[in-house]
């Protein structure tokens, strides 16, 4: 990520689409550095910088961190990577932008740096599949072990394989709660997808297939765009 203008990739997808899994696999294979804003928040808040204090002041009162602070945190990380990983093509940005205002702010911030976006990967999965994936989780009340009704069921229904404790479904994992979360996601991100589609950057990937197949589809779509930079 030298001074000549890095080419970054944004990865997007609803909860349950496997975005984090794919980002971790794909980034190193393409010479990108995975930058997840959720992880960045945790790292920054554990430090004692001016930015950390500003961000903590919002967290402590239960308020949303303003977009400009989130963007400042992200661009400071990109500055660090230019020194730490000069050989990298750019960053694989995960978790930002989440709405159109953030997308426009990111465009402006990258342009000011002389950077650009090479592609925006959107992992698409049918809504009913996402609901099945997200609403099937079971948790042991005793030891916290997790299961899935369909993909990783316990040997005995309702009973933890590890400790014999009672399994239950968290209130935010019910189909109704998952449906609400997905509705918010689609409402916020549809304009973002349109924004990037108009710019010719959007690449839709079928996420309703095995992990390895999704990985190969992402790599095939990105190789020419990233390596050309």
Q: Give me the active site residues, please.
A: 19, 98, 137, 170, 181
- The number of beta carbons lying within 10 Å of the beta carbon of residue 35 is 21
For residue 183, CA distances in Å to 15, 33, 179, 202 come to 11, 30, 6, 21
Contact 39, 27 (CB under 8 A): no
DSSP letter at 63 equals P
- For residue 97, cis peptide bond before it (omega within 30 degrees of 0): yes
For residue 106, CA distances in Å to 85, 87, 92, 192 come to 21, 23, 13, 11
Contact 109, 76 (CB under 8 A): no
Sequence-distant (6+) residues with CB within 8 A of 57 are none
């Amino acid at each position: 990520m030298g001074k000549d203008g890095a080419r970054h990739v944004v990865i997007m997808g609803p909860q349950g689409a496997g975005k984090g899994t794919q980002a971790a696999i794909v980034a190193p294979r393409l010479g990108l550095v995975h930058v997840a804003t959720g992880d960045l928040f945790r790292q920054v808040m554990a430090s004692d910088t001016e930015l950390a204090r500003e961000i903590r002041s919002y967290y402590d009162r239960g308020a949303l961190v303003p977009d400009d602070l989130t963007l400042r945190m992200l661009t400071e990380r990109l500055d660090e990577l230019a020194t730490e990983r000069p050989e990298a093509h750019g960053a694989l940005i995960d978790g930002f932008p989440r709405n159109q205002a953030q997308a426009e702010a990111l465009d402006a911030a990258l342009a000011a740096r002389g950077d650009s976006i090479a592609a925006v990967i959107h992992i698409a999965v049918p809504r009913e599949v996402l609901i099945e994936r997200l609403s099937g989780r079971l948790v042991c009340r005793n030891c916290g072990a997790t299961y899935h009704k369909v993909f990783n069921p316990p040997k005995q229904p309702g009973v933890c394989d590890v400790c014999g404790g009672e399994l239950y479904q968290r209130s935010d994992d019910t189909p109704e709660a998952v449906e609400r979360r997905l509705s918010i996601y689609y409402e916020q991100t549809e304009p973002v997808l349109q924004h990037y589609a108009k710019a010719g950057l959007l690449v839709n990937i079928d996420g309703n297939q095995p992990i390895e197949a999704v990985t190969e589809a992402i790599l095939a779509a990105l190789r020419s765009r990233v390596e050309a930079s």
